[in-house]
Chain A
Amino acid sequence: MHQPPLADRRRTEVLRQCLSVGVATGAYGISFGALSVADGLDLWQTMALSALLFSGASQFAVVGVVAAGGSGAAAVATSTLLGMRNGLYGLQMSKLLGVRGLRRVAAAQLTIDESTAVAVAQPEPSAQRLGFWGTGLAVFVMWNLMTILGAVVGNALGDPKRFGLDAAAPAAFCALLWPRLKSGDAAAVAAVAAVIALVAAPHAPVGIPVLVAALAAIVAGLLPSRRREDLGDADTSPEDEAPG
């Protein structure tokens, strides 16, 4: 399957998104490293979580449950619950990337909120692939380096919340989703999913509200599309031709 190469301008644009998401997310690795060591994991265990588990929310959950005196089983269960959405991302990423063998293993490991968000934000298949790999690798490198830094020097650089970095991630996801929301169906799915998650949040264990919100996508997929042209926007499989 040969795709036309990306224009330089688009390439730069996508890579800039990859790097900024990598830096904003990676910076949180400092928090993770510092917290993990403070909560009783050693440097190697902390590094293993960032390299092998590589999913921020799940990592914070493992460390949090262990610190609260919870059992290993509880830590694993919470982490796994939070990791389920990565499997759902994998369904769509698998279609967009079309990878086999070792590249498929690497792609799976890099399948997280950030890489998926940058990939699905791109209209053309070659940019989707660049966005996925670029963001996945940028976050992986930054996250692991910052984890080590945090574990070694602690929170000497200050809590990332002081710099508002906890708003940077949702803001980046908003910006990445923005172009998709021009399709009425996608905007409705996004709005309903957000409401479902917020209604569930006070009553469900961490990780569940976001998963329950997937119902919005399932219902939207089962309903017939209201207009034919909405289909083109919603379906971003690589076989799609870019709109002329």
Chain B
Amino acid sequence: MTLWSTVLLASGLAFSLKFLGYVVPHRVLDGAVVSRVSAMLPVALLSALVAVQTFTANGGGLTLDARAAGIAIAVSALLLRAPFLVVVILAAATTGTLRALGWG
């Protein structure tokens, strides 16, 4: 496979997957159970994504580093009802500062 065909094939498949979600007829999605599942899917996927982005190293192994500290600060800020932007900046600043100090 040439590099270009890899690029285009991966792109085509990525779009097809995204589009697939939009062509499922609404009447299939309107049932009570399917409605509850599809409303919960973003919550489950995003929460799993946060866990993976925060606690795993490059090969998938679990790790505790400066990112975990950043997220801990973000959650504390949320508990104190800090606005969105403050939460995001605090997390990045915490993680960046700890790295600059040589941890994680």
Contacts and interface: CB of A to CB of B under 8 A. Distances in A.
Interface residues of B, number: 75
B60 A190 contact: no
Given A91-B29, A167-B91, A202-B60, A79 B1 contact: no
Q: Which of A75, A192, A215 has the most CB of B within 10 A?
A: A75
**Binding site of B, secondary structure by majority: helix, strand, loop or mixed?**
helix
Interface string A55-81: 100100010001000011101100110
Given A109-B15, A198-B55, A201-B62, A235 B48 contact: no
A76 B6 contact: yes
Interface in A139-190: 161-178, 180, 185-186, 189-190
Contacts of B54: 167, 170
Given A198-B62, A202-B61, A214-B44, A174 B78 contact: yes
Nearest to A207: B52
A36 to B, nearest CB: 10
Nearest to A231: B36
A185 B47 CA distance: 14
B48 A197 contact: yes
Q: Which of B52, B75, B78, B96 has the most CB of A within 10 A?
A: B52
Given A49-B11, A173-B50, A216-B44, 6 more contacts: A89-B21, A90-B22, A172-B87, A185-B40, A194-B51, A217-B45
